[in-house]
Amino acid sequence: MQTQVSCPRCQTPFVAEVHQMIDVGVNPSLKRLLLSGQLNVVQCPSCSTVFPVLTPLVYHDPENQMFMVHVPMELNIPTADRERLIGRMVQQAMTSLPESAPKGYLLQPETILTLQTFMERVLETEGITKEMIERQRAQVELVNTLATADRDVVDYLLKERAKEIDETFFSILQSVIEEANQTGQEERAIKLINLRVRLFQETEVGRQLEKRQVALTAFQKEAQKAGALTPEIYLKHLVKNAADEEILDTVIAMGQQALSYEFFSLLTEEIEKKQQLGGDTAAQPLMKLREKLLAVYDELQQQSQQIMVKAGETLNAILTADDYVAEIRNRLDEIDDAFMYVLSANIGEFEKGGQQQQADALKQIYQTILALMEEQAPAEVRFVNQLVRTRDPEARRQLLDENPAMVQPELVQVL
């Protein structure tokens, strides 16, 4: 819904899109926004400050028969108003369900007092338990403690809490290092980098991660130096890392776009060379690698076909909708590169066949999608798009002069 909010920094009032009802069965993209911390986060058009809007939240997941309500205490909403809000959301949820679907759980909404508990309950539907959340929270606390502790305390904590130092811990540590660098905390960043070096050397998981990092960096650098990932480079690094399953799987995933007829021809040649030198026994590792890669290739082909079919179904739903703009808005999370490829291909086919009316209808859908996507983009992205569309240099300079608040480091990053 559209609601008026005020920027906490410059007090500018503006209208923002705020969601209270998160109905996974109707609009699953809202769940993704919730879990990523982006739901109801808005940006001030005047000073570009980004801030969350405090609002009641209702979560409906028909698959898990979950219906939860969270009303922030800070809003001080009277009991009667709260009950009316919940009643309206119950009716909305019931309307969205098929007649045969169970609805009894909607009549007993679960009231959640804190946003943290609300998020934990949603994460449970993703298979993330409270224990997993608590473990990660403890790891974040450990990283922050290590960042400020003296050496004796660090030595003690690394021994006392060694079981918490896993791949997730290293991911958290990397995030904290990046945050320290971005906020100018150079001393903190250096201390954390030194800690990471120590953990790479002294822990088994650290040694394995460092080995993986070295292998992947070498792979990436050679591909960059060549200007592209060639079948020869891909094969070289697959063979080089074939003995380490984890590194091999990562290299496969990073370069799977290089799986082609040319690549498999090269691999077959290598297998034949090994067979000539030492028979099937010598060629066995490469033959096993080929089997694995063929399975990956087949899966990629199937996934690609499924993606194209799904994109076609989405396009058909938009074309047959009574209100195609509303349909596009509801399906923005389904609109990706594959969809735009299918849409563009259909436009080309209609134009080639002389069916200009159908081509124009699809072009209108294309332009509507771009406009709706730009609506949801950050202010810096919208401003850059406006600059790009402005061909006249003088008019472009005028735009920059009229929007001094937009000429910030963030704008340079977008560019």
**Dist. CA 404–CA 338, nearest whole Å:** 37
44 neighbors 9 (Cβ within 8 angstroms): yes
What is the average pLDDT value for the chain, to the nearest integer? 87
User: What's the rounded mean pLDDT across residues 153-179?
Assistant: 89
- In the chain, the amino acid numbered 194 is N
Question: Where is average pLDDT lowest: 2-6, 187-191, 329-333, 377-381?
Answer: 377-381
Selected residue with higher pLDDT from 97 and 389:
97
Can you give the pLDDT at residue 236? 94
pTM for this entry = 0.55
11 pLDDT above the threshold of 60 = yes
**Hey, what are 223's tokens?**
């591909």
CA 41 to chain centre: 16
**Hey, what are 346's tokens?**
């259909």
Helices (H), 183-203: 186-202
What would the pLDDT profile of 47-100 be if each residue is shown by its tens digit? 888 888 999 999 999 989 999 999 998 888 888 888 888 888 888 888 888 888
Can you give the pLDDT at residue 35? 82
330 neighbors 340 (Cβ within 8 angstroms): no
Q: Give CA angle at 385 (342, 332), nearest 5°.
A: 40
Q: For the chain, report the end-to-end CA distance as a whole number of angstroms.
A: 31
316 pLDDT above the threshold of 80 = yes
Rounded percentage of the chain residues whose pLDDT exceeds 70: 94
Question: Where is average pLDDT lowest: 235-249, 286-300, 301-315, 390-404?
Answer: 390-404
409 neighbors 397 (Cβ within 8 angstroms): no
Question: Where is average pLDDT lowest: 154-158, 270-274, 335-339?
Answer: 335-339
- Per-residue 3-state assignment (H helix, E strand, C coil) for 89-147: HHHHHHHHCCCCCCCHHHHCCEECCCHHHHHHHHHHCCCCCHHHHHHHHHHHHHHHHHH
193 pLDDT above the threshold of 90 = yes
Can you give the pLDDT at residue 393? 76
Sign of the Cα torsion 333, 334, 335, 336 reads positive
**Hey, what are 26's tokens?**
């109707």
Question: Where is average pLDDT lowest: 91-95, 126-130, 343-347, 400-404?
Answer: 400-404
**Dist. CA 87–CA 92, nearest whole Å:** 9
Can you give the pLDDT at residue 133? 83
Can you give the pLDDT at residue 235? 94
**pLDDT band at residue 382 under the 50/70/90 scheme:** low
318 pLDDT above the threshold of 90 = yes
- In the chain, the amino acid numbered 22 is I
